[in-house]
Amino acid sequence: MRTCRATAAGKLTVVLATFVLVVAGCGSGPTPRAWAASVCEALTPWRAEINKLTSSTHQQMTAQTTPAQAKENLVRLFAGAEQASETARRRVADAGVPETDRGDEISEGFRTSLEKIRDAYGRAGDAIDELSIDRPSDFYDGVQAVVDTLNQEYDSSALDTSKLNSKELKQAFDEVPECR
């Protein structure tokens, strides 16, 4: 009877030790390579969408459309850029925190940059929506001012890559196919 209890206790110890290892493993983040791949998979379609929307915005500003048409198109374009930025931010957040020195800060930096970009597009769309179309020259001057502000906010939201001190992440971003 005693050996039966000792064996059961031993099995329980092994099960508990295995559970602790599994739980501890669940809390760890992705490797630098896996994280870099996920981030690039999130950012590649976002960049393509932003490039397309930027081109469309430029076309809208130079096209011979009525202020009402331009306003409608620009509001829609900026809403699309805002949504694309939020989708990218969410996908970067879903990538987790890389297992590397300062992984929390690095992940937060990417997410914060995308949040700022998302918010800049949202403010630009709202500002365009508030412009009066009664006087076309004033409307287009207003559009130019909104775009200038957007560009400034976009530039100031850029991720400071000098803080990417992780050799593992730098190497991962250089090597993983998703980032090429």
Nearest to 115 by CA among 77, 156, 146: 156
Q: Beta-carbon neighbour count of residue 156 at 10 Å?
A: 9
CB 106 within 8 A of CB 163: yes
Q: What amino acid occupies position 109?
A: G
Using alpha carbons, list the distances in angstroms from residue 46 to 103, 145, 172. 22, 25, 20
- The CA distance from 133 to 139, in Å, is 6
Nearest to 140 by CA among 71, 42, 94, 41: 71
- The CA distance from 171 to 159, in Å, is 18
Q: What is the pLDDT of residue 55?
A: 87
Structure tokens at 38: 């996920």
Domain-wise residue ranges, the chain: 1-30, 31-179
Render each residue's pLDDT in the chain as its tens digit; 180 residues.
444 433 333 332 333 232 233 333 344 799 999 999 999 999 999 999 999 988 887 787 777 789 999 999 999 999 999 999 999 999 999 999 999 988 999 999 999 999 999 999 999 999 999 999 999 999 999 999 999 999 999 899 988 767 667 889 989 999 999 998
